[in-house]
Amino acid sequence: MSAQLEIAATAARLIVEEGLEYGPAKRRALKQLGLPPRAALPDNDTVEDEVRSYIELFCADTQPAELAELRAIAALWMERLAAYRPHLTGAVWRGTATRLNDVHLQLYCDDAKSTEIELINRGIDYDVSSMPGPRGHDVDVITLATNSAALGERVLVHLTILDHDDLRGALKSDARGRTERGDLAALQCLMAAEG
């Protein structure tokens, strides 16, 4: 097995078992394998392939139900926030999520503060942080928690607030013909196909 495949396989285990994001999982895999920090890392497609293999091998009995619940939570919040053009992204969209993953929604708004006002009006507690956005400047990320009876725990939902104009390039397909995100109709098609 090549070093990159070994890194990908180790990262996949960390992603599934600990809920790590791809970047931190790859860096931790390097340390666990005793490889130099500047070793060539596998691309995310390779890691995702290993995640799917790991899930199929070790989580086939639990992951489909966990994914279905996370997608149901995503759909509920997408319906609630429909005015802000929500799109699901991340592991829940790609179908590799387990109960350890959070739900990541991208909202395409004309006014970033309108989402916060909506949550305040609904009496929903949330936290705000920021992260680098697609245009090189920081964007707000609103994080809230929602209860899941099916999972028996709270699930975090992250709402990344993007400019309405960013939606134009958001649905491009990758080299494998997959999109990085999808709207509620696309999510409902996925859920129907797997349900």
Q: Has domain 63-194 been given CATH number 3.40.50.2300?
A: no
**Spatial separation of the C-alpha atoms in residues 137 and 160, rounded to whole Å:** 13
Regarding predicted confidence, which is higher, 89 or 171?
Answer: 89
**φ/ψ (deg, to 5) at 142:** -95, 130
pLDDT one-digit tens code per residue, 82-124:
999 999 999 999 999 999 999 999 999 877 789 999 999 999 9
Work out the average pLDDT over 138-148.
Answer: 95
Regarding predicted confidence, which is higher, 102 or 193?
Answer: 102
pLDDT one-digit tens code per residue, 31-81:
999 999 899 999 999 999 999 999 999 999 999 999 999 999 999 999 999
Of 115, 96, 114, nearest to 105 (Cα)? 115
Give me the residue spans of the domains in the chain. Answer: 3-58, 63-194
3-class SS at 162? strand
